[in-house]
Amino acid sequence: MSAHGAALFARYAYPPNELGYCGPADASALLRPEDTAVVERHARRFEGAWCYLELLAEAAGLPDPLDERVVEAYWIGNELLERTDPAALLARLRERFRGQGGGTWQDASDRARAHHSFQVFEVYPWTRLLVASGHPTALSVLDRCRIRTGVVRSVGGERAEVESRPLLWTGGRLVHGAPRRESVRWSTGGRSLVPGLGPGDLVALHWDWVCDVLTEQQAARIEAAEARQLAAQGLTTGWPAPSGGRVAGAGTGAAVLPGRSG
């Protein structure tokens, strides 16, 4: 099993697991990624994410669903996404979510892609609810559940102020709103999901957590994957380029989860 891949999975999976939205109990297991076997057992119990990781690994001819390249493909996006067959993904999802409805995934056809944005916008029921009713809760869940990019403006203790662009619903399209600042967590009890954080860092956000410090290329992949997904659903006409930012974060003394190579 890949220690780097397990640590990367833990970074992105911890926020919704801590909130009780997906994965097994005891999210604190993901704050100990140095114990790769524990993370692997925990990851297998993510009903949705593990299904995608298995398919991506099989399509790439890799034996480990927690291979760093596989985990990056699902959360961020990389060339492995192009190796997965949409029909194979839908077949796997029908097996995993037998009898469950609510989303639009069963009719997705060529839209199906083994990326987190497909799980958020098609497998979960919130997009259908938003289109049908414009319900603000549906919009809020979609905005927080997606992996979104932002730039750190300040860091204080275990929280950071990050500027990002929220999703807005126009009645027929999902668009980016004006940049806004939000207070999010980046560590808990002195343990962090990222290797230090400082103003100017370009980061990935999941729910109310900073879960990764990104390169500009990685940020572009996240935004491009979401743009492709929303365009395929007819929910948007375009997507802005990511904002730039300093990648190397200044340490603040918190204990750090192991980073990944490269």
In tens digits, the chain (262 residues) has pLDDT values of 789 999 999 999 999 999 999 999 999 999 987 899 999 999 999 989 999 999 999 999 999 999 999 999 999 999 999 999 999 999 999 998 876 777 999 889 999 999 999 999 999 999 999 999 999 999 999 999 999 999 999 999 999 999 999 999 999 899 999 999 999 999 999 888 898 899 999 999 999 999 999 999 999 999 999 999 999 999 975 444 334 333 333 333 344 444 333 3
Contacts of 217 (CB under 8 A, 6+ apart): none
Burial class (CB in 10 A: 0-12, 13-18, 19+), 158: middle
- CA dist 76 and 262 (Å) reads 15
> What pTM does this model have?
0.90
